Amino acid sequence: MDSGASEFQIEAAISKIFASGQPWNVTDECIQVMGGMGFMKDAGVERIMRDLRIFRIFEGTNDILRLFVALNGFQNAGNHLKNLQKALKNPLGNVGLLTGEITKRAKRYESGLGTGLSLSGSVHPELAHSGDLAVKALEHFGGTVEELLLKHGKKIIDEQFVLKRVADSAIDLYTMVVVLSRASRSLSQGLTSAQLEKIMCETWCVEAHDRIMQNVKDLKSSSSRKLFNNLRDVSTSLVENGGVVAPHPLGF
Ligand SMILES: Cc1cc2nc3c(=O)[nH]c(=O)nc-3n(C[C@H](O)[C@H](O)[C@H](O)COP(=O)(O)OP(=O)(O)OC[C@H]3O[C@@H](n4cnc5c(N)ncnc54)[C@H](O)[C@@H]3O)c2cc1C
């Protein structure tokens, strides 16, 4: 926004999801740390928790916003892939283009060569490793999004278990870049909080990177596919039955 960008719906959606989800976890942890006192009205934390709960529902429920984030991302990726999809419909007439794309992808994902993207120069040198983690996660995520789009095409819209993991990864990527930006600024300005911010940034980047890589793995694995189908079947049975299908063991 500061640099004059006029399109920031995805960033706004990500910020809303993150800013309404994380405080819930923090408050829940706070009540746990306080023990029974945290649960009581006098401490004031239970009120914060009750008030926080609505933020995940109004101003766009977080579930719908996750779909928005994922599908907008797919739309952008889809525009880049249009030529490739056209070429796949007529492979013999597009041998050159397809060979180039296949070589590029093989190099990128299998021989470990990256896209050439780097955050050095943008992030503070002390945060170079965290910057590399963000780039690595971005490259794996980008490759997975392309694969998913080529596999599902427009039907990706019906794959909500996939879309949730794509959105969560996009959110993690965005937050990595945000904390890198903030901690880099603090380090550059020599703020007294800079070293603490650096530690927090490094910790966040490692955890977010690992979550993204796990999501990428899940999105590609056949056992996750089976799990998604199981979850879909359980939900369908529940809806068709108008309630829980399995009888209660005590007969209730
Ligand atoms: C205290 C309060 C204040 C409010 N203030 C305002 C206000 O000022 N102005 C205003 O316009 N509205 C207001 N609302 C309404 C609020 O915006 C809605 O409650 C909210 O948009 C969710 O809609 P819903 O309650 O109909 O839930 P539903 O749309 O029925 O959703 C129920 C659940 O299903 C999920 N869901 C729905 N569709 C899908 C889908 N396609 N895929 C996956 N999941 C899905 C949702 O994420 C949600 O978890 C307020 C609500 C409350 C409780």
Q: What is the CATH number for 209?
A: 1.20.140.10
Give CA–CA dist 120/2, Å, rounded. 21
Q: Does residue 57 line the site of ligand 1, with CB under 6 A?
A: yes
**Residue 225 backbone class (left: φ over 0; alpha: ψ -120 to 50; beta: rest):** alpha
Q: Single out the residue of 134, 137, 112, 136 nearest to residue 123, CA to CA.
A: 134
139 is an active site residue: no
pLDDT tens sequence across 18-50: 999 999 999 999 999 999 999 999 999 999 999
In the reported structure, the alpha carbon of residue 194 is separated from the centroid of ligand 1 by a whole-number distance in angstroms of 40
- Inform me whether the pLDDT recorded for 179 exceeds 80: yes
Q: How many C-alpha atoms does 42 have within 13 Å on its Cβ side? A: 3
**Which residues span the domain enclosing 36?**
9-53
Over residues 207-227, mean pLDDT: 95
Among protein residues, the one with the nearest Cα to ligand 1's atom 25 is 57
Q: Indicate whether 171 and 133 sit together in one domain.
A: yes
Q: Indicate whether 123 and 27 sit together in one domain.
A: no
Q: For the chain, what is the domain count?
A: 2
Q: What is the pLDDT of residue 106?
A: 57
Over residues 4-21, mean pLDDT: 92
DSSP sequence for 160-213:
HHHHHHHHHHHHHHHHHHHHHHHHHHHHHTT-TTHHHHHHHHHHHHHHHHHHHH
* Cβ neighbours for 198, distance < 8 A, ≥ 6 positions apart: 126, 127, 183, 186, 187
Instruction: Give the number of the atom of ligand 1 that is nearest the alpha carbon of residue 64.
Output: 47
Among protein residues, the one with the nearest Cα to ligand 1's atom 52 is 58
Q: Does residue 252 line the site of ligand 1, with CB under 6 A?
A: no
In the reported structure, the alpha carbon of residue 244 is separated from the centroid of ligand 1 by a whole-number distance in angstroms of 24
In the reported structure, the alpha carbon of residue 94 is separated from the centroid of ligand 1 by a whole-number distance in angstroms of 47
Would you tell me how many other CB atoms lie within 10 Å of the CB of residue 187?
19
Q: Does residue 61 line the site of ligand 1, with CB under 6 A?
A: yes
Q: Indicate whether 210 and 129 sit together in one domain.
A: yes
Which of 11, 46, 59, 202 is flagged as catalytic? 59
Among protein residues, the one with the nearest Cα to ligand 1's atom 28 is 61
To test the pocket of ligand 1, the residue of 17, 53, 64, 158 to mutate (highest count of ligand atoms within 8 Å of its CB) is: 64
Among protein residues, the one with the nearest Cα to ligand 1's atom 16 is 58
Any domain includes 161 = yes
Q: Indicate whether 69 and 186 sit together in one domain.
A: yes
Q: Single out the residue of 178, 199, 195 nearest to residue 122, CA to CA.
A: 178
Q: Does residue 58 line the site of ligand 1, with CB under 6 A?
A: yes
Q: Indicate whether 170 and 212 sit together in one domain.
A: yes
**pLDDT confidence tier of residue 170, bands split at 50, 70 and 90:** very high
pLDDT tens sequence across 90-136: 666 666 655 666 556 655 655 555 677 888 889 999 999 999 999 99
Any domain includes 113 = no
Any domain includes 187 = yes
Would you tell me how many other CB atoms lie within 10 Å of the CB of residue 149?
20
Give CA–CA dist 181/34, Å, rounded. 33
In the reported structure, the alpha carbon of residue 64 is separated from the centroid of ligand 1 by a whole-number distance in angstroms of 9
pTM of the model: 0.86
DSSP sequence for 50-68:
HHHHGGGTSSS-HHHHHHH
* Cβ neighbours for 67, distance < 8 A, ≥ 6 positions apart: 160, 163, 167
In the reported structure, the alpha carbon of residue 55 is separated from the centroid of ligand 1 by a whole-number distance in angstroms of 10
Q: Indicate whether 124 and 46 sit together in one domain.
A: no
